[in-house]
């Protein structure tokens, strides 16, 4: 995977990494325990942005980006699990994209393979989802986001390549990778996805779906050196 784009002006590209329990959902003990990252990606010149995996307290996330002068124009869902898009998990009901749609009328972008799982888990219908194929490019203003299908953790897990960053959801962490013992998981598919991600250029910065390490991000070069999933 060698596709790179010319970076836009630094003052135009909008990117925020937001940690549950610290930046949003403050005071929610379960959210704090789960250390989920949500992201905002946008174009400051147009004011349009996309939220990646809005869950827990979605109004907090909308308030944060609106305070920055941005407007939510869509959702990028890495995968269907409740701590990323809403639903029930371990006896907890987590708000997510369904609650977001009550405040913001916007599309939810998923891989085609994830549509039935999203319908079952996140309390959304197929007509509220925009199904994508691997390699689709989504524009928010003049910012282009490449949707990278990385099955394994779930059938339709996807990562996002944008402006020298890889937002990886639960496919790849700084240490380790997503579980493959959950409904819809596939260990063989995960191995193929990791092989594909091993070709991402070393200077691309990895942003994971959880803060399972002391650091919140790292270059892919560093991750390839330290993460056991890339050791052969």
pLDDT for residue 231: 87
Query: In the predicted model, what is the mean pLDDT of residues 107-126?
Result: 97
- What is the chain's mean pLDDT, rounded? 95
Condensed to tens digits (0 to 9), the pLDDT of residues 142-172 reads: 999 999 999 999 999 999 999 999 999 999 9
pTM: 0.94
Instruction: Report the share of the chain in percent with pLDDT over 90.
Output: 94
Instruction: With CA atoms as reference, report the closest residue to 224 among 208, 207, 189, 200.
Output: 200
Flag whether pLDDT at 2 surpasses 50.
no
The conformation of residue 1, written as its DSSP 8-state character, comes to -
In whole angstroms, what is the distance from residue 71 CA to residue 83 CA?
23
pLDDT for residue 3: 44
pLDDT for residue 27: 97
Give the pLDDT band of residue 9 (cuts 50, 70, 90): low
Give the chain's domains with CATH numbers: 13-230 (3.60.15.10)
**3-state DSSP call for residue 53?**
coil
Condensed to tens digits (0 to 9), the pLDDT of residues 182-206 reads: 999 999 999 999 999 999 999 999 9
Query: In the predicted model, what is the mean pLDDT of residues 56-78?
Result: 98
Condensed to tens digits (0 to 9), the pLDDT of residues 68-96 reads: 999 999 999 999 999 999 999 988 999 99
Are the CB atoms for 43 and 72 separated by under 8 Å? no
**3-state DSSP call for residue 45?**
coil
Strand partners, 206: 166, 218
In whole angstroms, what is the distance from residue 140 CA to residue 132 CA?
16
Query: In the predicted model, what is the mean pLDDT of residues 36-64?
Result: 98
Condensed to tens digits (0 to 9), the pLDDT of residues 167-177 reads: 999 999 999 99
């Amino acid at each position: 995977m060698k596709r790179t784009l010319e970076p836009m002006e630094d003052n135009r590209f909008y990117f925020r990494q937001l940690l549950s329990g610290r930046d949003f959902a403050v005071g929610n003990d379960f959210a704090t325990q789960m250390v989920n990252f949500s992201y905002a990606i946008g174009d400051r010149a147009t004011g349009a942005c996309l939220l990646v995996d809005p869950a827990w307290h979605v109004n907090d996330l909308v308030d944060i980006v609106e305070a920055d002068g941005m407007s939510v124009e869509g959702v990028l869902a890495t995968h269907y699990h409740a701590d990323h898009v809403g639903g029930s998990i371990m006896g907890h009901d987590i708000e997510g994209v369904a609650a977001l749609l009550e405040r913001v009328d916007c599309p939810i972008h998923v891989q085609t393979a994830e549509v039935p799982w999203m319908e079952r888990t996140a309390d959304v219908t197929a007509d509220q989802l925009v199904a994508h194929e691997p390699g689709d490019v989504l524009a928010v203003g003049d910012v282009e986001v490449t949707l990278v299908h990385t099955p394994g953790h779930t059938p339709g897990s996807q990562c996002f390549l944008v402006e020298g960053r890889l937002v990886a959801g639960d496919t790849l962490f700084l240490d380790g990778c997503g579980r493959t013992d959950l409904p819809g998981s596939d260990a063989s598919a995960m191995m193929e996805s990791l092989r594909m991600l091993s070709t991402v250029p070393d200077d691309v910065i990895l942003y994971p779906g959880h803060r399972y390490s002391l650091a919140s991000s790292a270059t892919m070069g560093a991750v390839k050196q330290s993460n056991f999933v890339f050791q052969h």
